[in-house]
Structure 1
Amino acid sequence: MKKLHGTGVALVTPFNQHKNVDYDGLKNLLEATAKKGVDYYVVQGTTGESATTTSAEKAEILQFVRDNNAQNLPIVYGLGGNNTQAVLDTIKTTNFEGIDAILSVSPYYNKPSQEGIYQHYIAIADASPVPVILYNVPGRTMSNISAETTLRLAKHKNIIGVKEASGNLEQAMTISHNKPSDFMLISGDDMLTGPLYAIGAVGVISVLANAFGDHFKSIKEGAFNGDFNQVQKALFPLLQINPLMYAESNPVGIKEVLASQGVCENYVRLPLLEATEDLKKSIKTALTSL
């Protein structure tokens, strides 16, 4: 799956003032990110506000990306949940045409045991007609996929990688050191992309790449060429803007940046709210240093 090496952009879902999907904005986003060098699209992940889009909208958004993928970039589709049977039912009704893999978040809220997480993913991997990428994000799920569980799952022929967003570098190193050679370690934290490349990651699934894909292209090229001075030059300028992306929850911050770039509007759906004036000012100030 080398086509999923490099930068995957966790696409936002643009909305208009009525909170309906803004397909003109989405087309702008697809074109803008492709021009800045992203390697693949991630559709309906957390950054795409998948928690508040309907099943019909998810299918329409996915089809729109298929139809407006001018550079024929690979597509990873967000398909997960905390009800294993519901995920399996969704797999049965999903059109997988043009989908290269699914990104499946670890079960949230339930706080399952490691064995429960393992069995959840085995059921999904057995049912999915396309490869599965695990998504470990304890800050949202309130449970961690341990390195040991990830490595057990890596033995399944249909589980091809993990988006590791635990922020635990020692855990990531354990995975990298012990994983099968073709199992992909993918950064799930933009600011840890450089360090994770250094220990064997093959790329990142990025929030900031919605607006700064060129930075992540440079980070990737530097890492693959062993030039970590280049990695630093591309990554360090993002240190000021990155925390602002999460100050009022993702994707509030990145949508504000995209609005400032004229790509799409900054509207989000409840329970999220558009950026406050204080956050807008902070983002504006941070952008002047880029």
Structure 2
Amino acid sequence: MDLREELSGITCPVVTPFEADSSEIDETAFTDLLEFLLENDVDGVFPCGTTGEFASLTPEERRRVHELAVETVDGEVPVLAGAAATSVDEAVEYAEHAAEIGADAAVVTEPYFHGPNAPAGNQRFFEAVSDRSPLPILLYNIPPCTGGSIALETIAALADHENVLGLKDSSGDLEYFLSALRRTPEDFLLLQGYDALLVPALRMGADGGLNAGSNVAPAQYVDLYETVDGDRGRERQDAIEPLFDACATHGFAPATKTALEYRGVIPSDAVRPPLVSVPDDGQAAIETGVDELLESGRE
């Protein structure tokens, strides 16, 4: 499998549905969601990312979610396993388990909680994980959750590592993304993780998107990717904005789950602490955003 080619499109950072009464993982809802995404032609799935609430899952639950994803997808599209951790050993353990069950790559953030780390320390961390991982590593830049962006010099250096696949950038900084594009070789995968910048990034050379909204409207995101250079791409980007704004206001996991429940794809929008569900006065904006995005896909 040529992962760069396979992931040149729309990959979905899949939510982790919980049962409303117990907060346990709703495995049936999770597999139903994956099947919904496959039916709508997404190019990859990423369980246990930020939208998947990995930080609220136990290690055993994270492994179980990965197992369910690999079993359900059954080779139809690549599975990117979330391997974010604060130590090299823990990140490698997630990557090793993901390899054992048949996932295709592991996604790793900068170590969080330590605060802003020196670029040299982050580079050593990524190199150590990449050296030991049995799977290719996708770097994940999400500065609000890690204390800072991965230094561009670090990305440029890691791009030469034989086991580093590419970068998902959720910084919301288009200049940063374009700088990463200029500093890395053509075969370095660059995925835009900030929905509001998807069309600009694709038009400037991004390989694809890894976007929370694709849980809710996968067909519309796939169509955006396929029509990005025309007026339809711009129109679809405009249609994404209301739902993305709601996600930015209420949090990506809560708002995405509310939207999925509204669509009838999952039965509950339950989240785990410290996240809170979207309040009643915020649900109307999400429902309107969903309706507008779905309507934009009709001829």
Q: TM-score, normalised on structure 1?
A: 0.94
Cα deviation, 1:57-110, whole Å, max 9, x if unaligned, reads: 112211111222267211000102222333234445555332111111112221
Which deviates more, 241-250 or 129-138? 241-250
Which deviates more, 57-66 or 199-208? 57-66
Please say if 1:135 is aligned against 2:140: yes
Match of 1:56 among 54, 57, 60: 60
Cα deviation, 1:169-198, whole Å, max 9, x if unaligned, reads: 222222212211100111010111111111
Percent identity over the alignment is: 27
Contact 1:91 1:127 survives alignment (8 Å): no
In the alignment of these two chains, the number of paired residues is 287
Match of 1:43 among 37, 41, 47: 47
Q: Distance in 2 between matches of 1:70 and 1:129?
A: 20
**Secondary structure of the residue that 2:210 maps to in structure 1?**
strand
**Secondary structure of the residue that 1:8 maps to in structure 2?**
strand
Match of 1:229 among 198, 223, 231: 231
Letter in 2 for 1:233: E
**Secondary structure of the residue that 1:170 maps to in structure 2?**
helix
Query: Which residues in structure 2 correspond to 1:137-216 (within 5 Å)?
Result: 137-216=142-221
Q: Distance in 2 between matches of 1:220 and 1:93?
A: 32
Match of 2:13 among 10, 35, 47: 10
Please say if 1:126 is aligned against 2:136: no
Contact 1:33 1:210 survives alignment (8 Å): yes
| Post-superposition offset of 1:138 | 0.8
Q: Distance in 2 between matches of 1:91 and 1:215?
A: 31
RMSD (CA atoms): 1.6
Contact 1:7 1:203 survives alignment (8 Å): yes
Please say if 1:34 is aligned against 2:69: no
What residue in structure 2 maps to residue 101 of structure 1?
A: 105
Contact 2:13 2:51 survives alignment (8 Å): yes
| Post-superposition offset of 1:207 | 0.3
Letter in 2 for 1:23: E
Cα deviation, 1:27-58, whole Å, max 9, x if unaligned, reads: 22011111222111101111111011111111
Q: Distance in 2 between matches of 1:286 and 1:130?
A: 37
| Post-superposition offset of 1:5 | 1.2
Q: Distance in 1 between matches of 2:281 and 2:270?
A: 16
Segments of 5+ residues of structure 2 without an aligned counterpart are: 294-299
What residue in structure 1 maps to residue 288 of structure 2?
A: 285
What residue in structure 2 maps to residue 74 of structure 1?
A: 78
Q: Distance in 2 between matches of 1:95 and 1:176?
A: 28
Q: Distance in 2 between matches of 1:159 and 1:95?
A: 15
Which deviates more, 127-136 or 63-72? 63-72
**Secondary structure of the residue that 1:174 maps to in structure 2?**
helix
Which deviates more, 67-76 or 189-198? 67-76
